[in-house]
Amino acid sequence: MKAEAMINKDRVAAPKKKSVSMKVLNTASNALIYVILATLGVIWILPIVFLLYTSLRVTPNTGIINQLFPENLQLGFGNYVRLFSDTMFPRWLANTVIVAACSCLLSTMFVLMISYALSRLRFKMRKPLMNVLLVLGMFPGFMSMIAVYFILKAMGLLNSLFALVLVYSGGAALSYYICKGFFDTIPKSLEEAAILDGANRLQILLAVTVPLSKPIIIYTILTSFINPWCDFIFVNTIINDREKYTVALGLYKMINAEKFSFNENFTVFCAGATVVGAIIVALFMSMQKYYVEGVTSGAVKG
């Protein structure tokens, strides 16, 4: 009897020891994960802190990289004053807003129309067309830069904001797959009821599908807006007139101007980068809910 009691006691103690060891292991693994995430967070936020700090440095204007904390350091908004008064940044910002807004409007229309057609209509060569568009969308846009340049040159559209709008919105339909996946989740019975009431396809799209597609429309607007806002390659290829620069090209030319040293313009450059980044951050934060919902909803069904 004593032997059986000792065996039963050992059987009860074994799971307790096992659970304690598992708890310690889980705690250690969680602590390691938190340390890794915290380290990655610090690495991610350091460039942003450096950008904000440098944009607020008023004096001295030399030794920006070599001397992060000089003795006579002064902070203020002098660089932002110089940015808006001594440079053409307001004009560049206005050009960027015009190009981004027009490209966003056209791109959103193209994406919605092609996505709705591929989601709801059945026609010959539909699947091969979808595969071709998907493959073409995988190639980076700058691969066609030379061809686009000569086409615009032949049309006499070089050095114009209209050319940028054409370039940015021309290939927008290649990003149809997420929007199409969202349209696939909308019940077809709603559209069938609208057809019975005498509505055509365009009326169904505008009166039935679009009101139910607010998340994916917001997602399409944001993605269509961010590309021309941050693009540098096509702007640098097409635009030569200083008054028609966008913020990306304008800030690049400013920091590389021959009559100023790098350190002399670097703080103003950081101020401009902060303004550009703040606008995008504010836009994404205000529409984050719809952006995430649009991505997840569009990935449910292909």
Q: pLDDT digits over 69-91, tens only?
A: 666 667 788 888 888 888 889 99
pLDDT at position 299: 43
Angstrom distance (rounded) from CA 13 to CA 182: 54
The answer to whether residue 54 scores a pLDDT higher than 60 is yes
pLDDT at position 102: 92
The average pLDDT across 187-201 equals 82
The answer to whether residue 165 scores a pLDDT higher than 50 is yes
pLDDT: which is higher, 9 or 47: 47
pLDDT at position 33: 92
The average pLDDT across 205-211 equals 81
Q: 5: exposed, middle or buried (C-beta count within 10 Å: 0-12, 13-18, 19+)? A: exposed
The average pLDDT across 201-219 equals 82
The answer to whether residue 173 scores a pLDDT higher than 60 is yes
pTM of the model: 0.77
The average pLDDT across 276-292 equals 79
The average pLDDT across 253-267 equals 70
Domain boundaries, the chain: 2-55, 86-298
The average pLDDT across 35-56 equals 90
Contact 111, 294 (CB under 8 A): no
What's the CATH number of domain 86-298, 3.30.70.330, 1.10.630.10, 1.10.3720.10, 3.30.300.130? Answer: 1.10.3720.10
The average pLDDT across 151-174 equals 86
Percent of the chain whose pLDDT exceeds 90 = 10
For the chain, what is the mean pLDDT?
A: 79
pLDDT: which is higher, 68 or 27: 27
pLDDT at position 95: 92
The average pLDDT across 128-147 equals 80
The average pLDDT across 289-293 equals 63
Q: Which of 23-27, 36-40, 246-250, 269-273 has the lowest mean pLDDT?
A: 23-27
